[in-house]
Amino acid sequence: MHQEKSDTLFDKYGGVPTTIIMVRKLTERWLAHPMLRTYVVGMSQEALMAHQIAVVTYLMGKPTKAYDALAMREAHHPLGITPHAYEELVAMLRQVMLEMRFDSADIVAILATLDRQHHHLVAGTSEAPLFAGIDRRQRP
């Protein structure tokens, strides 16, 4: 049987079912983190998960109508997300992908896509993405 090559990481890792598992794991950790949960006070867990599903789907290469860079900036900047909070969430996402046995090259690609959105998510930033390989402390 000929197996068709996946067009996106979303397809490669099983689409919606995998995305839902990822988001559940990420949301569970997010809500358990004392600092990070303050950013979603008052938001229903269902709304948070729906938002994260749209974001993770986008990060994994699937075009989504729900992702709009300007809307992301307008929604996130008033929250005052700090660079430290952003890095904590990135570390959680990375850990979830490692536990789900994503290939390391795919993890790097997903995190690079997220990092290109850094300036839309972190308050007061307009700088270029921080990502320069697996070591996030390096700057290009």
Neighbours of 38 (CB within 10 A): 11
* Comparison of pLDDT for 124 and 11, the residue scoring more: 11
For residue 88, pLDDT over 90 is answered with: yes
Cα–Cα distance for residue pair 118/76, rounded to 1 Å = 10
Residue the block writes with tokens 């090259």: 105
Q: Which residue has the higher pLDDT, 50 or 132?
A: 50
More confident residue, 138 or 27: 27
Kindly indicate the confidence band of residue 90, based on its pLDDT and cuts at 50, 70 and 90: very high
- Prediction pTM value: 0.80
